[in-house]
Amino acid sequence: MSVAKVAALTYYPVKGLAGVPVQQAEVGPTGLRHDRMFMLVEPDGTFLSQRKLPAMATIRAELTGDGLRLSAPGAPDLELGIRYDGKRRDVSLFGKWFGQGVVQDPAADEWFTERLGAPAALVRVTPEHERPGWGRHKGFTGFGDAHALMITSYSSLDKLNERIV
């Protein structure tokens, strides 16, 4: 019998930014703790992704207690407090209205806009956020595309890379 071994754990505090590798993680109803609890949106509330702005892959977000530290190559770091509730704005994923996100610090919006060369605003899931995923094991998700957890194997990644080449 074959036994699966976890080779790496990564969570993404801000959807679409670089991931944060960890040695261990708490798993809850929405997946790894703090995973995709934040998202960048355009002025109309549409989510931003690496598909449109590949530079997002170079930006890191790290949780620091009740704060968020943002860093990018060649840029000063920015630390801000997390707003768990307050002013809200409508947001959408994949062309569909999604609900609302809690507006974060305008300084973060300026910082992201400068790094990405496009207007960007940072939002967080609302306290009452409860979005079901879909598929065989539905679960719940924050701002993730569809599922609480994404699990893959090295062999499937190898096959994907062969197809890309």
What is the per-residue pLDDT for 135?
67
Alpha carbon distance 157, 27 (integer Å): 23
Please list the alpha-helical segments (H only) found in 58-141.
106-116
What is the per-residue pLDDT for 54?
95
What is the per-residue pLDDT for 155?
87
Q: Which of 48, 123, 34, 40 is nearest to 87 (CA)?
A: 123
CA-derived radius of gyration, the chain? 16
Residues 6+ apart with CB under 8 A from 11: 19, 20, 22, 25, 32, 33, 34, 35
What is the per-residue pLDDT for 137?
66
What is the per-residue pLDDT for 28?
81
What is the per-residue pLDDT for 134?
66
Alpha carbon distance 12, 40 (integer Å): 12
What is the per-residue pLDDT for 20?
93
> What is the reported pTM?
0.86
Strand (E) or helix (H) holding 154: helix 154-164
What is the per-residue pLDDT for 29?
78
Alpha carbon distance 51, 9 (integer Å): 23
What's phi and psi for 62, nearest 5 deg?
A: -130, 130
pLDDT along the chain (165 residues), means of 10: 82 94 87 89 94 95 94 96 95 80 96 97 88 68 72 86 88
